[in-house]
Amino acid sequence: MTIKIICDTSADLNFPNDVTLYDKYDVQWVPMQIMFGVEEYKELENLKTSEFYEKLSKTTEHPTTSQSTQADLLKAYETYGDKYDQIISMHLSSDISGAVNNARMAKKMYEKSNPDGAKIFVYDSRSTSTPFGLIVIKATNFVKQGLKAEEIVKKLDEWREKDYSFYFTVSDLRWLFDGGRLSRAKYYLGSLLSKIPILSLVDGKVEVVKSVTGLDKAIDTILEMQLNDIEDDLSNLTVHFTQAAFRTETEAYAKKIKEKYPEINIGEIYDIGGVITSHTGPGTIVIIMTRNVEL
């Protein structure tokens, strides 16, 4: 049984200098859309992450985004449908994007014209950015173990519930509000409190789960919550990071976490891509804690 993993570019498996990890894990990415006014781009395809940040620094225009097109998804399915028995098409949370719905529509189009082609499984990650990307990597681990797509989808849900936790904080809640990812009431409440918000995806939607005074306190609180979410020996846990125009600060926090919890494993620091940064803004830091992930 051969399986191909496909995901959209919101998985943010990005490193500096426009290096990505998709090829390393044999994952095919499908671009999401970024718009600066009337200028339209496909993430990674004709707008690299570094180019996005350069554009962002030179404009007052708030970029907007949209999910992968059905045409691009169908093209990916047709490319790999004759070469693989099964395809797992993985996407960011259906509660914050239409990506899953577009994938389901593209799947129907593919199956109609390719009745003997690969069987496609559309997977709603209930996540976003590099936390979603780590779920993609976990899926590739299961592929290597020889599991079928049906088993992989089930095991991904189990892993996400038991061995995975992420929270993030942003420098300015207005990005989430303007991007439609945070309600007006929650935006104004968070702004009025003048505190650092700690956010996560609760049932697939962005929620402020706690507010604290100062970024140092926010990082400490996130680690405490994650250790409560995943109770285990520290040596079995890995902390990963992803950030938007916040690398120096993130590196400093990674060092502090290692000093405070010397037994814990420190993973990579990824770069948030253009699509997600369009909603969270520069100055975003995401902390992901995992157990049982092989990188």
Pairing of strands 164-169, 284-291: antiparallel
Tell whether pTM > 0.75.
yes
* CB neighbours of residue 161 within 10 Å: 9
- CA torsion 206-182-179-225 (nearest 10°) is -40
Same domain flag for 169 and 146: no
pLDDT recorded at residue 209:
86
**Which tokens go with 152?**
């992989």
Model pLDDT, residue 131:
97
- Computed from CA positions of residues 206, 204, 282, 36, in that sequence, does the dihedral angle turn out positive or negative? negative
Of 162, 196, 227, the domain-final residue? 162
Q: Does residue 79 share a domain with residue 201?
A: no
Sheet order of strands, 196-202 included: 205-212, 196-202, 164-169, 284-291, 237-244, 265-271
Q: Which of 162, 187, 215 is the last residue of a domain?
A: 162
Strands 205-212 and 196-202: antiparallel
Range of the domain at 140: 3-162
The sign of the torsion formed by the CA atoms of 189, 195, 199, 203 equals negative
Can you give the pLDDT at residue 205? Answer: 81
pLDDT at 188: 47
User: What pLDDT sits at residue 236?
Assistant: 96
Q: Same structural domain for residues 253 and 284?
A: yes
Query: Do 96 and 216 fall into the same domain?
Result: no
Given 138, 162, 186, the domain boundary residue is 162
| pLDDT computed for residue 141 by the predictor | 97
Q: Which residues of 107-139 are buried (b: 16+ CB within 10 A; e: fewer)?
A: beebbeeeeebbbbbbbbbbbbbbbbbbbbbbb
What distances in angstroms separate CA 32 from CA 10, 184, 247, one per listed residue?
7, 26, 24
Per-residue pLDDT of the chain (295 residues; tens, 9 = 90+): 899 999 999 999 999 999 999 999 999 999 999 999 999 999 999 999 999 999 999 988 889 999 999 999 999 999 999 999 999 999 999 999 999 999 999 999 999 999 999 999 999 999 999 999 999 999 999 999 999 999 999 999 999 999 999 999 887 666 555 555 454 445 545 554 567 788 898 887 888 888 888 889 999 999 999 999 999 999 999 999 999 999 999 999 999 999 999 999 999 999 999 999 988 889 999 999 999 888 7
